[in-house]
Copies of this chain bind each other. A is one copy, B any other.
C-alpha cells in the first residue's frame, strides 16, 4: 500500500492528539472564583442539555435512515455503516468542541483577570484549536480509514451523508436556538426592562450565552466538518476517474499536509502581539506551508503541477472572498459607513441600505467562484480530459478547506471570547477585565464575519464538487437546460433556498416570541428579580430555545431530504441535476446576501455606538438597532442554514443516485 495512504488516518490521529494536549492545557488554567464557576456551570449545563436533547431526536432520524440505507437496492449495509460513522464522528467533534469551549470561556475571563491579554488570548484560541483539530482529525481519520477498507467512493459517500445529517441538526437547529435566545433576551431585557446586555437578572441570559456555543461553535464546526468530508470524498471519486488510485491518494495527502501546516500555524499565534495580527500570521503560515508542500506533492504523486494550480485557485479564491466579506461588513469601509449614515433618516432607509449592500456583495464572490471553477477545470486539463477537469474542481474545494483546522480554530475563538466577556459582566469582574475581553471580542467579530464568508465559499465549491461526482456516478452524459424537465428542476431547486430562508426566519420569530413571554412572566412573577435578590429560572429559557430549535427544524430538514429524492424519481436524474444546480446558484447567492447584510447591519450599529451620527441613544442608533435585529436571523440562522441545504441535497442525491432513472412522469 502506498505510504501516503497509511499516513492519512495517522495524521488524523495526530490532530486528535494535538487537540487532547490543547484541551488538557485549558484544564490546567484556574476557572476563577465561585460566582464564575457557578455561571460557567449554568452555561455548560445548558449547552449539554441542548446536546442531549438533540441526540435523542437525532437517534430516531439516524435509525430510520440507517434502515433505509441498508435496504434500498444498490446501497446496503456497508454504506449504512459509513453513514453511522459519519454521523458519530460529527457528533463527537461537536461534543468535544462544545465541552472545551464552555470550559475555555470562564478560564479566558479568569486569565484576563489574573494574567492579562496574552494569556487570555492563548486560552480562548486554544479552545478554538481543539474544535478545529477535532473536525479535521476526525474527518481525515474517518474518510482515510474507510477508503483503505472499502476502496469504493460510492460506499464512503455514506460517511458524507452522516456528516451532512448532523450538520443539518447542528447548524439549522443551532441557528434557531442562538437567535431565539438572543432576540428574546435583547427585546425584553435591553429594550423593555432597560438592563444591559449579559445582565444576570435577565432570565434569558444563560440561554443567550449557551446559544453562542450551540450556534457558533458546534453549528459552525458541523458545517465545516460536512464541507471538509464532502470535498475529500468528491476528490476521491473524481480523482479515481481521472488518475486512478493516485488521484484518491493525492486528495488524502493534501488534507494531511493541511493538518500539519495548521498545527505549525498554531504556534505562530502568540499573545505577545496584537490579537488580530497574531491570528492572521497563524493563518498565513498554514496557507503558505500547504501551498509549498502541495506543489511538491502534486509533482511527486501525480507527476504534474497542473492539479497544484487547481488547489491554489481554491485557496486564493477563499482568501479573496474573505477580504471582500470584510469590505462589505466591517465598519472601516464605505458600505457599512453608508448604512450608518442612512440610519439618520430612520429605520426604513437603514433597512433598504442593508438589503442593498447585501445584494451588492454577491457580485464579487460569485465572479470569483466562477473564475475559480474555470481556472481549476481548465488548468487541471479539462479542455482535453473532462475527468481531469472535474477533479480540478474538487481539488479547488480541498485546497480551500485544507487549512480548515486553522480556520475553524480562528472562527471558534470568537464565541469563546464573547462568552468570556459575558461571564465577566455577569460576575461583575473589574473594568480592566472587560476591556481585555471586549478587545478579544471585537477581533472575534471580524473573524466571525470572515469565517462566514469562508464557510459559504467552501460550501459552494464542495457542493459543486459533489454535483460533479453526482453526474459521474449517475452516469449522465450531460444535464441539458434546453429540456423542460431540467428547467423545471432548476426553477424548483432555485426556489428552495427562498423557502428554506423563510421557514428558518419564521422559526426564529416564533421561538423568540415564546422566549419574550417567558422572560416577561419571570419579571412579573418572581419577586426581587430586578433588585438582584432572587435568581431567575435560567433553565426554563434554555428549555424553550432547545425545544423550539428541534421542533422548528423538522419541516425544513425533511424538505431538504425528500424534495431531491421525489424530483429524481418523478422527473428523472437529469431533472434532479437541474434542481441541484438551481439550488446551488440561488443558495450561494442568498447565503452571501443574508450573511453580509446581517454583518453590515451589526457593524453599522457598532459604528454608530462608537460615536458617529449621534452615537448611542440617538435617532440614528435606534434605526440601526432595528437593522441589527433584522440581521440577526439573516446572518446567524437563515444564511448559514443555506450552506447545509445545498450540500445536503447534493449528497442525498449522490447516495440515492441508483434510484433515479428517466423519471416516471414523462
Contact = CB atoms under 8 A, between A and B. Distances in A.
A471 interface: yes
A352 B495 contact: no
25 contacts: A342-B509, A345-B516, A349-B509, A356-B506, A356-B509, A357-B502, A359-B498, A363-B495, A366-B492, A370-B492, A377-B484, A378-B484, A382-B484, A393-B484, A468-B482, A476-B482, A478-B480, A479-B481, A480-B480, A481-B481, A481-B577, A490-B585, A494-B586, A494-B589, A498-B593
A499 B374 contact: no
The A interface, classified by DSSP as helix, strand, loop or mixed, is helix
A393 B360 CA distance: 33
Which of A355, A487, A490, A577 has the largest count of B CB atoms less than 10 A from its CB? A487
B498 A373 contact: no
A582 B487 CA distance: 10
Given A491-B370, A498-B589, A630 B481 contact: no
Contacts of A499: 359-360, 362-363
A485 interface: yes
A205 B486 CA distance: 49
Interface in A327-363: 342, 345-349, 351-353, 355-360, 362-363
A501 B479 CA distance: 29
Closest 4 CB pairs of A and B: A348-B629, A359-B502, A370-B488, A479-B481
B516 A487 contact: no
Given A370-B492, A495-B366, A499-B359, A479 B476 contact: no
A513 to B, nearest CB: 8
Given A352-B509, A359-B501, A389-B484, A366 B491 contact: yes
Interface of A: 187, 342, 345-349, 351-353, 355-360, 362-363, 366-367, 369-371, 373-374, 377-378, 382-383, 389, 393, 464, 468, 471, 476, 478-488, 490-492, 494-495, 498-499, 501-503, 505-506, 508-509, 513, 516, 577-578, 581-582, 585-586, 588-589, 593, 625-627, 629-630, 633, 665-666
Contact of A485 (B351, B366, B374, B486): B374
B366 A494 contact: yes
Given A187-B345, A626-B346, A505 B355 contact: yes
Given A468-B482, A481-B481, 6 more contacts: A352-B509, A370-B492, A373-B487, A382-B484, A389-B484, A478-B482
A548 to B, nearest CB: 16
Give the interface centre of A359, A371, A483, A666 by most chain B CB atoms within 10 Å: A359
A111 to B, nearest CB: 36
A369 B482 contact: no
A214 to B, nearest CB: 21
Number of copies: 2
Nearest to A359: B502
Contact of A509 (B353, B516, B588): B353
Contacts of A593: 498
Nearest to A513: B345
Contacts of A627: 348
A494 B369 CA distance: 13
B581 A373 contact: no
A374 B482 contact: no
A582 B366 CA distance: 12
A15 to B, nearest CB: 33
Nearest to A187: B345
User: Which of A482, A508, A509, A582 has the most chain B CB within a 10 Å cutoff?
Assistant: A482
A373 B488 contact: yes
